[in-house]
Chain A
Amino acid sequence: MEEQYINLYQQYQEQIKGHAASVMNESRDASFGLFEELGFPTSKLENYKYTDLTEPLSIEYGLNLNRLKIPVNPYEVFKCDVPGIHSYLYFVLNDGFYPVHDHHNDELPKGVIIGSLKDVAESHPELVKAYYGKMSLGKKDGLIAFNGAFAQDGFFMYVPEDVILDRPVQLVNIMRSDVDFMANSHNLIILEKGAKAQLLVCDHTMDDVRFVTNRVTEVFVDENASYEHYKLENTHIKTTNLSTLLIDQKTSSNVLANVITLHNGVTRNTIEIDVDGEHCETLLCGMVIGDKKQQVDNFTSIIHNKPNSHSTELFKYVLDDRSKGGFTGKLYVARDSQKTQAYQTNKNILMNKTAKMRTKPQLEIYADDVKCSHGATIGQLDESAMFYMRQRGIPEKEAKLLLMFAFTADVTENIRIDALKDRIKMLVEKRLRGELSKCEGCVICQ
Chain B
Amino acid sequence: MRPIPNIMLEIKDLHASINGKEILKGLSLTVHPGEIHAIMGPNGAGKSTLSSVLTGNPAFEVTHGKVSFYGKDLLELPPEDRACEGIFLSFQYPVEIPGVSMVNFMRTAINEHRKYNNLPPLSATDFLRVMREKKELVEMDNKLTNRSVNEGFSGGEKKRNEIFQMAMLEPRLSILDETDSGLDIDALRIVANGVNKLKSPENASIVITHYQRLLDYIIPDFVHVLYDGRIVKSGTKELALELEKKGYDWIKQEVDKK
| Number of chain B residues close to chain A: CB under 8 A | 32
Interfacial chain A residues near B116, Cβ < 8 Å: 393
Q: CB-nearest residue of chain B relative to A401?
A: B108
B10-18, B89-97, B234-242: which lies at the interface: B89-97
Q: CB-nearest residue of chain A relative to B79?
A: A390
Interfacial chain B residues near A387, Cβ < 8 Å: 57-59, 79, 95
Known contacts A383-B59, A387-B57, A405-B99, A395 near B94 by CB under 8 Å: no
Q: CB-nearest residue of chain A relative to B97?
A: A385
Of B59, B78, B98, B99, most A-chain CB atoms within 10 Å: B99
- In the bound complex, how far is the Cα of B57 from the Cα of A391, in angstroms? 8
**A2 interface hit (Cβ, 8 Å):** no
Chain B 58-101 interface 0/1 with A at a Cβ cutoff of 8 Å (1 = within):
11000000000000000000111011100011010011111110
Chain A 389-428 interface 0/1 with B at a Cβ cutoff of 8 Å (1 = within):
1111111101100110111011000000000000000000
Interfacial chain B residues near A366, Cβ < 8 Å: none
**A4 interface hit (Cβ, 8 Å):** no
Chain A 225-260 interface 0/1 with B at a Cβ cutoff of 8 Å (1 = within):
000000000000000000000000000000000000
**B205 interface hit (Cβ, 8 Å):** no
- In the bound complex, how far is the Cα of B112 from the Cα of A428, in angstroms? 22
CB distance from A391 to the nearest CB of B (A): 5
B100's contact among A384, A403, A410, by CB below 8 Å, is which? A403
Check A390 against B83 for contact (C-beta < 8 Å). yes
Check A392 against B165 for contact (C-beta < 8 Å). yes
Check B80 against A396 for contact (C-beta < 8 Å). yes
B83's contact among A383, A391, A402, by CB below 8 Å, is which? A391
Interfacial chain A residues near B95, Cβ < 8 Å: 382, 384-385, 387-388
Interfacial chain A residues near B91, Cβ < 8 Å: 388, 391
Interfacial chain A residues near B113, Cβ < 8 Å: 393
Check A393 against B99 for contact (C-beta < 8 Å). no
**B104 interface hit (Cβ, 8 Å):** yes
Known contacts A383-B59, A388-B94, A402-B104, A394 near B109 by CB under 8 Å: yes
A392's contact among B78, B99, B105, by CB below 8 Å, is which? B105
**B214 interface hit (Cβ, 8 Å):** no
Interfacial chain A residues near B209, Cβ < 8 Å: none
CB distance from A151 to the nearest CB of B (A): 41
CB distance from A384 to the nearest CB of B (A): 5
A390's contact among B78, B98, B105, by CB below 8 Å, is which? B78
Check A392 against B59 for contact (C-beta < 8 Å). no
**B169 interface hit (Cβ, 8 Å):** yes
CB distance from B258 to the nearest CB of A (A): 36
- In the bound complex, how far is the Cα of B94 from the Cα of A105, in angstroms? 56
Q: CB-nearest residue of chain A relative to B52?
A: A387
Known contacts A387-B58, A395-B112, A403 near B83 by CB under 8 Å: no
Interfacial chain A residues near B83, Cβ < 8 Å: 390-393
**B55 interface hit (Cβ, 8 Å):** yes
Within 8 A of A (CB), among B142-170: 148-149, 165, 169
- In the bound complex, how far is the Cα of B99 from the Cα of A382, in angstroms? 13
Interfacial chain A residues near B108, Cβ < 8 Å: 394, 398, 402
Q: CB-nearest residue of chain B relative to A408?
A: B99
Check A402 against B105 for contact (C-beta < 8 Å). yes
| Number of chain A residues close to chain B: CB under 8 A | 23
Known contacts A384-B95, A402-B104, A393 near B59 by CB under 8 Å: no
Check B99 against A394 for contact (C-beta < 8 Å). no
CB distance from B122 to the nearest CB of A (A): 13
Q: CB-nearest residue of chain A relative to B86?
A: A393
Known contacts A393-B84, A393-B112, A406 near B169 by CB under 8 Å: no
Chain B 100-137 interface 0/1 with A at a Cβ cutoff of 8 Å (1 = within):
10001100110011001000000000000000000000
Known contacts A388-B94, A409-B99, A410-B99, A393 near B80 by CB under 8 Å: yes
- In the bound complex, how far is the Cα of B109 from the Cα of A387, in angstroms? 13
Check A391 against B55 for contact (C-beta < 8 Å). yes
Known contacts A390-B78, A392-B83, A394-B109, A406 near B89 by CB under 8 Å: no
- In the bound complex, how far is the Cα of B59 from the Cα of A389, in angstroms? 15
Check B169 against A392 for contact (C-beta < 8 Å). yes
- In the bound complex, how far is the Cα of B82 from the Cα of A401, in angstroms? 20
Known contacts A387-B79, A388-B91, A389-B105, A394 near B112 by CB under 8 Å: yes
Chain A 172-207 interface 0/1 with B at a Cβ cutoff of 8 Å (1 = within):
000000000000000000000000000000000000
Given A382-B97, A387-B95, A391-B82, 20 other A-B residues pairs in contact with their CB atoms under 8 A: A384-B95, A388-B91, A390-B80, A390-B83, A392-B169, A393-B84, A394-B108, A395-B80, A395-B112, A396-B80, A402-B104, A402-B105, A402-B108, A405-B99, A406-B98, A406-B99, A406-B100, A406-B148, A407-B99, A410-B99
A-B contact pairs, 25 of them (CB 8 A): A382-B95, A382-B97, A383-B58, A385-B95, A387-B58, A387-B59, A387-B79, A388-B95, A388-B97, A388-B149, A391-B79, A391-B82, A391-B88, A391-B89, A392-B105, A392-B169, A393-B113, A394-B108, A396-B78, A396-B80, A402-B108, A405-B100, A406-B98, A409-B99, A410-B99
